[in-house]
Structure 1
Amino acid sequence: MRTANHLIGTLNFITFLLSIPILGGGIWLSTRANNTDCLTFLQWPLIIIGVAIMVISLAGFAGACYRNTFLMYLYLWAMFFIIATLLGFVIFAYVVTDKGSGRDVLNRGYQDYYLPDYSGWLKDRVADDGYWRKISSCIRDSNVCRKSGRVTGGFPEIADAYYQRKLSPIESGCCKPPTECGFTYMNETTWNVIDSASAANNRDCSRWSNDQEQLCYSCNSCKAGVLANVKKSWRKVSIINIVVLIILVIAYVVACAAFRNNKRMDNDEPYGETRMEKARPSWIRF
């Protein structure tokens, strides 16, 4: 029985440690939301799950140390719902970020991003005009486009060097016009606008502005760049979540078995003592 309590206590300590990377992933998404992705609602489910696992693990640890059956029941039921919630969140994250990716551009190191390549709930939310005003304002305030500029020998980066850069989805979608527009590069955020058939076929070409407060923040390519950035961030966090989820399930199954064994030993102990009492010779009975 004491061994079972130690095992349950150890498992609770492990789950407490596992809550740290989940909480850390939520905090990392929060920093991305403030600085790059600008989608401020995505990090909260992870932060809530991480805090919940941390609190429930402490309750289970206390229950194991003090042999409090109520706390152990609370721990097992709460952990079951937390595991189910985390599993649902992982599935949700993969579903909403499943579609869409950048398109390779001939003789370019970066990719171009197109909103029709994406679909689903997340695309509809990002493309909503009211919500996009908040996102585009966040991107503008983050100065991501201004920070993308490079100076060599006191002069802006030349076109050939810029074309071979690995731009982030935000830099590619929001800070420059789509490549098919055929505009002439002057620097990272200034382009010589020309009229062409390609420009007429892509409405983002007419949305581009050399005004540093406008650029391509109203372009569909910018919305697609945000979606690509979010997909990249979520996939990184989801890998950690899947690993943690597998370990949590294993720890939960072992904890259930240990708790069941603990209860069985508690139930058998009075019966075992009675049999031992009966087995004693009459001259040593009290």
Structure 2
Amino acid sequence: ILDIFRLELFVCNLMLRHAGRDPHIMMLLLLFVEQILAILVVGFGFWMSTHNDECRRSLTIPVMGLGGVIFLMSLAGFVGAWKNISCLLWTYLIMLFVVLVAIMVFTVLAFIITNTGTGHAVPGSRYKEYRLQDYSSWFVKQLNDTDKWTHLRSCLVKSDDCNSLSNRYKTLKQYKLAELTPIESGCCRPPAECGYPALNASNFDLSYHPVSTNVDCKLYKNDRFLRCYDCNSCKAGVAQYMKTEWRVVAIFNVILFIILSFVYFVGCCARRHAGGSDSKVPRR
């Protein structure tokens, strides 16, 4: 990170040397680019909302909100640079600094909590199973919260994740060769260790006594409103989905942080350059 900051300082000083006597031109250009970037951030949040159902939109609103804040902030900075209003420019730089710190803190935490948890291979199948204890304590705490899980569970029941499996996979061979999503694997079927034979993609023969002491074996039911929605394996599937979503947003934030920090350093250099230029103007 320090190397990136040094590079950005070098580049911004180099740019200002070629910007002529008025550094505001460079500042206006960068603020305009920042407004476009803010629109792209909002667009990224909108894309996340269209590719997920209402059950899995935990980061959609924060991402779109961040884009809105960046847009309003850059708009204030643009007006300040255009009209040469120092208080607006300083307000913009302070707000941008706060946003950069917030992005950095969130990104670091996101990488920390998504550093654990992965799928376990199921013999004879292409899909994987997930275990709740493999994931970070923060994810486990969120998913074990009764109120939050009750809401999420009701949402999962209404979704087509489990109900559409029998329509998509007509035979057991197709089902075993399918690459099920973490939620389909954890919420729509009992863990493989239970030993229940599959009748089709949606139902299992529960007359067999489970060969495992896993509590999920007794919780699973063929009822479309029950399935394995109360199982730890279902929570683990949701945790895996959340991990993937958070990791994507974290990588996006790294790119956003680099771009915004460059704009911030250029803005600081521009203000310093402008202040130096103003002090050299002879007073009458």
TM over 0.5: yes
1:234 matched to which residue of 2?
246
Give the alignment partner of residue 282 of structure 2, picking from 242, 265, 270: 270
The letter for the 1-side match of 2:125 is R
Distance 1:3 1:109 in 2: 62
Aligned length: 265
2:44 matched to which residue of 1?
25
2:125 matched to which residue of 1?
108
Distance 1:229 1:217 in 2: 15
Pairing 1:195–2:208 present: yes
Distance 1:89 1:29 in 2: 18
The letter for the 2-side match of 1:117 is D
Q: Structure 1 residues 54 and 72 mapped into 2: Cα distance closer, same or farther (>3 Å)?
A: same
Give the alignment partner of residue 110 of structure 2, picking from 70, 93, 104: 93
Give the alignment partner of residue 161 of structure 2, picking from 144, 160, 173: 144
TM-score calculated relative to the size of structure 2: 0.86
CA root-mean-square deviation: 2.0
Three-state SS of the structure 2 residue aligned to 1:59 is: helix
Distance 1:157 1:139 in 2: 22
Three-state SS of the structure 1 residue aligned to 2:281 is: helix
Cα deviation per residue 1:191-233 (whole Å; 9 max; x = unaligned)? 111434533x111011110111111111100000000011111
CA shift for structure 1 position 122 = 2.1
Deviates more, 1:127-136 or 1:43-52: 43-52
Distance 2:43 2:251 in 1: 13
Distance 1:22 1:98 in 2: 24
1:53 matched to which residue of 2?
70
CA shift for structure 1 position 30 = 4.2
Calculate percent identity across the aligned residue pairs. 34
CA contact (8 A) 1:100 1:118 kept: yes
Distance 2:51 2:217 in 1: 28
Aligned positions of 1:44-83 closer than 5 A: 44-83=61-100
Distance 2:80 2:198 in 1: 66
Distance 1:36 1:111 in 2: 21
TM-score calculated relative to the size of structure 1: 0.86
Give the alignment partner of residue 16 of structure 1, picking from 10, 23, 35: 35
- 5+ residue gaps in structure 2? 1-19
CA shift for structure 1 position 43 = 3.4
Deviates more, 1:19-28 or 1:261-270: 19-28
Three-state SS of the structure 1 residue aligned to 2:190 is: coil
In our comparison, the structure showing a higher alpha carbon Rg is 1
CA contact (8 A) 2:171 2:201 kept: no
CA shift for structure 1 position 26 = 3.2
Three-state SS of the structure 2 residue aligned to 1:223 is: helix
1:277 matched to which residue of 2?
none
